[in-house]
Amino acid sequence: MSGASGGRAAVIAGIGCHLPPDVVTNEELTRRLETSDEWIRSRTGIATRHMVAPGVATSDLAVEAGRRALESAGGGADAVVLATTTPDRPCPATAPDVAHRLGLGGVAAFDVSAVCSGFLYGLAAAAGFIASGTAERVLLIAADAFTTIIDPQDRGTAVIFADGAGAVVLRAGDASEPGAVGRVVLGSDGGLNRLIQVPAGGSRQRSSGVAPEPGEEFFRMAGREVYRHAVERMTTSSRQAAEAAGWDTPAAADRFAAHQANARILATVADDLGIAHERRLSNIERVGNTGAASLAVLLAQAAAEGTLTAGHRLLLTAFGGGLTWGATALVWPDVKAL
């Protein structure tokens, strides 16, 4: 069950992803950072990650992932939602440009900013468009060129974050169908926004009349505190999502997909939820943390590789800056991933 017993709902109809071709290995990072392959692997679980080439922006990744999702779904869309932390520019939103480049005409298009929880926030927004009758088909893209806001000399972030995009097409359907999106559990705690932030560049810093300190234009994260909150919030929201779907426990999931933040966080959350190792989806070793794109890329790759198949009960969860978090549970449909 999807968590709903009937009525109009958003149903996943297509999925695709895109990773930039340039791959950065741990060995390459050790040439500029005081670190080692063993240190990176033991603390993050990452061996390689993808990075945009000079001149490549978030919209470029989003367009390619969106094109593949549309092809997978066999049709267009009358709305585009783009979840990203790295828009092409502060103003305007990047989604309208993506919609234009995909040839979707004058459809509704807007950005969602919830950092690494962006895909789930975007999923709730897109599903709401369909449930309300505002749209019949929504293209939801999650894309980030995260390496463009990372200090290349910061060992704490440069080894973790990477670039990529994933997308799904949602169509109007029935809440009892496989792929129907039920309740999406969402939450935030703005009192802890200091834990994950880019200090400079916004209206707070600009209106102060004070020039930013060196390095304040880069992404910052308080790793140890984030770890604790990420585990707590993803575990709690996963339990709430499983309950909303009518499952006895989260361990009833056939597949568990968590935001690929850090291998230690993923293992702790899955262990706390009682989810068996063979039911955990993961690609962090080869793609790293791709921000808002993380869940969408993971689902597309798992579906393409055959580790996520039609009929699997799927539990999704994420945690990001804001602080923000979310989770949802659904039955995976029969879709071809591109």
Percentage helix, strand, coil for the chain under 3-state DSSP, each rounded to 5: 40, 25, 35
289 is catalytic: yes
Identify the CA nearest to 320 among candidates 116, 145, 146.
116
259 is catalytic: yes
Identify the CA nearest to 138 among candidates 93, 74, 77.
77
Beta bridge pairs of residue 320: 324
Sheet holding 313-320, edge to edge: 184-188, 324-331, 313-320, 255-258, 280-281
Cis peptide before 323 (omega within 30 of 0): yes
Q: Pairing mode, if any, of strands 108-112 and 48-50?
A: unpaired
Catalytic residue among 18, 50, 259, 312: 259
Angle between helices 263-273 and 37-44 (to 10 degrees): 30
CB-based contacts of 44-47 (< 8 A; 24+ apart in sequence) = 44/159, 44/160, 44/262, 44/263, 44/264, 44/284, 44/288, 45/262, 45/263, 45/264, 45/266, 45/282, 45/284, 45/285, 46/159, 46/160, 46/263, 46/284, 46/285, 46/288, 46/289, 47/285, 47/286
Catalytic residue among 26, 262, 283, 289: 289
List phi, psi (to 5°) of 61.
-65, -45
277 is catalytic: no
**Cβ(220)–Cβ(197) below 8 Å:** yes
Catalytic residue among 116, 262, 283, 312: 116
Question: Known catalytic residues?
Answer: 116, 259, 289
